[in-house]
Amino acid sequence: DYYHGRPVSAEDLIREMDSAEVDMAVIWQNPSATAYSDDPEHNTRALVRANGYVRDSALRFPDRFIPAGWVDPKACGLDNALQMAEMLVRDFGFLIVKLNPAQNRYRIDSPPVFTVVDRLVALGAVPAFHFGADGQYTPSGGLRQLAERYRPYPVVAVHMGGGGAAYETAESLYQDARRLGLDCPNIRYVLSAKRDTHMESDLIAYQLAGEPFCHNLFCASDAPYGRMAWNFGGFRSIFRSLIDGAHHTDARVRGRPGLFTLEAARGYLGGNFARFAVEGYRRLLAACQARPAVCP
Confidence of residue 292 (pLDDT cuts 50, 70, 90): low
**CA distances for 37 relative to 34, 75, 77, 296, angstroms:** 10, 8, 13, 31
Question: How confident is the model over 200-211, as pLDDT tens digits?
Answer: 999 999 999 999
C-beta neighbour count of 93 within 10 angstroms: 18
pLDDT for residue 252 is more than 70: yes
pLDDT at 135: 87
| Per-residue 3-state assignment (H helix, E strand, C coil) for 200-218 | HHHHHHHHHHCCCHHHCEE
Instruction: Measure CA of the first residue to CA of the last residue in the chain; give whole Å.
Output: 43
Among 66-80, 162-176, 185-199, 205-219, where is mean pLDDT lowest? 162-176
pLDDT for residue 296 is more than 80: no
Q: Give the list of residues 6+ apart from residue 245 with CB closer than 8 angstroms, or none.
A: 253, 254, 256, 257, 258, 259, 260
> What would you measure as the largest C-alpha separation in the chain, in angstroms?
59
Q: What is the pTM of this model?
A: 0.96
**CA distances for 10 relative to 100, 116, 228, angstroms:** 22, 28, 14
Conformational region of residue 28, where left means phi above 0, alpha means psi within -120 to 50, and beta covers everything else: beta
C-beta neighbour count of 12 within 10 angstroms: 13
pLDDT for residue 105 is more than 70: yes
Q: Give the integer Cα–Cα distance in Å for 181 and 189.
A: 8
**Partners of residue 68 on adjacent β-strands:** 96
pLDDT at 253: 97
Question: How confident is the model over 208-230, as pLDDT tens digits?
Answer: 999 999 999 999 999 999 999 99
